[in-house]
Structure 1
Amino acid sequence: MVANELKEFLDEKVILYNKPDFIESDPIQIPHLFTEKEDIEIAGFLAATIAWGNRKMIINNAHKMMNLMGNSPYDFIMNHKEHHLESLATFVHRTFNGTDFTTFVKALKNIYTKHNGLEAVFEKSLTSNSLQKSIHEFKKVFFEIEHAQRTQKHVSDPLKGSAAKRINMFLRWMVRNDTTGVDLGIWKSIPPAALSCPLDVHSGNVARKLGILTRKQNDAKALAELDVQLRLMDANDPVKYDFALFGLGVFEKF
């Protein structure tokens, strides 16, 4: 496929998949449960954190997380007492357990109390066309509280080679305003042009078949390669193509 044909093909797939019925089978439904900014971003961050494995299980467990916080995530994070954290001990999603959940609650409280919230932390280290350094700096801020070493693996670091799929997905949800009501677009201080594709096995395999990714591993170098290609197709909204790549992989078995 020549460049123009490929762009047209992928643009059509974006239109096909970037619409409200996508929400029904995707973890993005979790932040859509809320209307207040802080509730939306906390729900989105926690849902994205456990977004690996079976999608149905991810969604069910993300709902459990919200239930354990009384379906008021921001209020729970800011006003919980130690004994409220006991109920989190039973939570488990694959390798993310109650200890991790408790640490995340405390780390988020620290971010809202001392760093002016999630958006401010990511915006602070923003470079002109990438959020990858911001993710690296975010991880440092997130774990400045006392924490178990094991919990660090649940926040990826692109500067240590990770494609950081789940954080890039969370950032897409928060930053990108797609006008169709899927991505929430509540963060106005970060441009969609700086977003990177949430690179996973599906989007990676499709990108390779289409010839816009040559690297075999789904890591930070692969993400940088894919970023270049997606920005050539749409410099202002490169991650809209996540819908095309993911849809082709998951729904069409491309």
Structure 2
Amino acid sequence: MPRTLDLKTCLDDLYAARSAAHLANDPLSFCHRYGEPADREVAAVIASSFAYGGIKIILRTLERVFAELGPSPRRFVERFDPKPGLRTFDGFKHRFNDGRDLCALLWACRLMIEESGSINAFFTRFHDSGAEDATAALDGYASAVRGLDYRPIFRKSTIPADSYFPFFFPAPASGSACKRLCMFLRWVVRPADGIDLGLWQGISPAQLVIPVDTHISRICSYLGFTQRKNADWRMAQEITASLRLLDPTDPVKYDFSLAHLGISEGCTGTDPLRCLNCAIAGVCPQAA
């Protein structure tokens, strides 16, 4: 219990110390460029989808994409026409996603909005408010998005094997940690606190699962939140269960600040001088 109390105090302090500099170094910053909730929702889908790889590359990719979306991402996707869109984004590349994949993502946003009125409403069709977490909702959402009609993009009824569009919508059922989808949910579900957006209704922050990337898996291993070696869905649930002991109603509140120990502060767990000055040095065995 003393260690749990120490951990909670330390992580609550870390949460309180989140800064505008951290936000500027995060794909979530693109959502904050817009004032309208509907624009922020669409921006969150797009920004989170490309949040893989090095942060500098992510931000460079998103600058290009959002420059095309203009002042209202929601209006852009509502009017998105795949034929000129494919020309606009011809040559686009973000690691293994190309312009077709980006156009399919924009088309998916248009179809979800046309079908349900918002992406929130499309997602919550698969959500059970009584479920322990969002596992089943993510399975249903990912499957439904992949099952939309992409013939205007791919010219065939099925997504071709050479497209990496399905990479945007993995599912817990496959064992994937679903890092970017969990991050997207954190952005739109958690209350607006200067970082997260507080956009969506119908999902409790207590049901969120932590987005597991290399930083979260490593740092949470140091803190004893997981014993697993593979960054998969089971690790994400195990870390989240540990964080629920610290805050049962909002366990994923700690994600942003923990991740930025690596993203912005350069934590690698191998530099004694950096460990000495780390905000969690007092509870992290790696800094001992």
TM-score by length of 2: 0.82
Query: 212-221 or 240-249, which moves further after superposition?
Result: 240-249
**Alignment partner, residue 137 of structure 1:** 140
Structure 1: distance between partners of 2:32 and 2:111: 24
Q: Per-residue displacement from partner, 1:46-70 (whole Å, max 9, x unpaired)?
A: 1111111111221121121112233
The alpha-carbon deviation at position 183 of structure 1 amounts to 0.7
**Alignment partner, residue 187 of structure 1:** 200
Whether the aligned pair in 1 keeps the contact of 2:70 and 2:76 (CA below 8 Å) is yes
Structure 1: distance between partners of 2:204 and 2:237: 18
Higher helix share: 1
Q: Per-residue displacement from partner, 1:69-127 (whole Å, max 9, x unpaired)?
A: 33432212111334431202222111111010111121111111113321112222223
Residues 1:200 and 2:213 aligned together = yes
**Alignment partner, residue 187 of structure 2:** 173
Q: How do 1:1-254 and structure 2 match up within 5 A?
A: 2-17=3-18, 19-85=19-85, 86-127=87-128, 128=130, 129-144=132-147, 145-146=149-150, 147-149=159-161, 150=163, 151-179=165-193, 181-250=194-263, 251=265, 253=267, 254=269
Whether the aligned pair in 2 keeps the contact of 1:68 and 1:88 (CA below 8 Å) is no
Residues 81 and 211 from structure 1, CA distance in 2 versus in 1: closer, same or farther, beyond 3 angstroms?
closer
Asked which structure has the greater CA Rg, the reply is 2
Residues 87 and 71 from structure 1, CA distance in 2 versus in 1: closer, same or farther, beyond 3 angstroms?
farther
* Number of residue-to-residue matches in the alignment: 252
- The percent of aligned pairs where both chains have the same amino acid is 29
Secondary structure of the residue aligned to 2:245 is helix
**Alignment partner, residue 153 of structure 2:** none
Structure 1 gaps of 5+ residues are none
Structure 2: distance between partners of 1:233 and 1:243: 16
**In structure 1, what residue type is equivalent to 2:137?**
S
**In structure 2, what residue type is equivalent to 1:44?**
A
Secondary structure of the residue aligned to 2:46 is helix
Structure 2 gaps of 5+ residues are 151-158, 270-288
Structure 1: distance between partners of 2:4 and 2:91: 51
Residues 232 and 70 from structure 1, CA distance in 2 versus in 1: closer, same or farther, beyond 3 angstroms?
same
Whether the aligned pair in 1 keeps the contact of 2:146 and 2:169 (CA below 8 Å) is no
Residues 24 and 133 from structure 1, CA distance in 2 versus in 1: closer, same or farther, beyond 3 angstroms?
same
The two structures, once aligned, show a CA RMSD in angstroms of 1.7
Whether the aligned pair in 1 keeps the contact of 2:187 and 2:197 (CA below 8 Å) is yes
Query: 120-129 or 164-173, which moves further after superposition?
Result: 120-129
**In structure 1, what residue type is equivalent to 2:31?**
P
The alpha-carbon deviation at position 164 of structure 1 amounts to 0.5
TM-score by length of 1: 0.93
The alpha-carbon deviation at position 198 of structure 1 amounts to 1.0
Secondary structure of the residue aligned to 1:30 is helix
Structure 1: distance between partners of 2:21 and 2:82: 39
